[in-house]
Amino acid sequence: MRGVKFHFPTILLIVVTCTLLFCGGCSWTPEEKPAQPVPPTQATIPPELRACLDTYAGQYSAEGPLASHPSARRIVTLVLRRDWKCTLTTDYRGSAHVPMTEAGTWRCDGGHASVMLTEANAQPERNELAFELRDSELVATRFDAKRYGEGLKLKRQ
């Protein structure tokens, strides 16, 4: 290409203009960005789920002797939050057992509260429980008998 002189600023301007023209539609506008999860509010929750939240959401606990160490105490606290998250904390008083905090989610399942714990002391796990409310007690109806023996009966706090 003799006789044709390329000027760097002109080439740069052409490249930038072409980039803007052809790639200008490549970025998301605020209206196109994926929606972030919206925490449930009273207005967005169907009446049947609102009734379940009103029935089950809260804090429940129980205290009893440890089967392996009768002088020690096991304190279990279950918190069912209104955002469908939950924690189950087991503290062992008077023994060398390390306290355990399990976290996960819960949902209403017919007349029961189903709990799925997916983390124990920051480690992955899978622990499924189901509870039903009897008076002011939350009674486990589905649980691991090796882990919980005869089950869990937790009082509302």
First to last CA, the chain: 86
pLDDT (0 to 100) of residue 148: 84
pTM over 0.85: no
Pairing between β-strand 85-93 and β-strand 58-66 as defined by DSSP bridges: unpaired
Q: Which amino acid is at 56?
A: Y
- Residue 99: which residues within 8 A CB-CB, separation 6 or more? 89, 90, 91, 92
pLDDT (0 to 100) of residue 57: 95
Domain positions in the chain are 47-156
Q: Assess contact for 136 and 55: CB atoms under 8 A.
A: no
Q: Assess contact for 91 and 74: CB atoms under 8 A.
A: yes
pLDDT (0 to 100) of residue 15: 55
pLDDT (0 to 100) of residue 91: 94
CA angle, residues 122, 100, 70, in degrees to nearest 5: 165
pLDDT (0 to 100) of residue 44: 75
| Tokens standing for residue 109 | 């399942």
In CATH, what class is 47-156? mainly beta
Q: Assess contact for 104 and 125: CB atoms under 8 A.
A: no
pLDDT profile of the chain (157 residues), mean per 10: 57 53 48 51 73 92 84 93 96 89 94 95 96 93 89 94
pLDDT (0 to 100) of residue 7: 60
Tell me how long the chain is.
157
Query: Buried b vs exposed e over 67-105: b needs ≥16 C-beta within 10 Å?
Result: eeeeeeebebbbbbebebebbbebbbeeeeeeeeebbbe
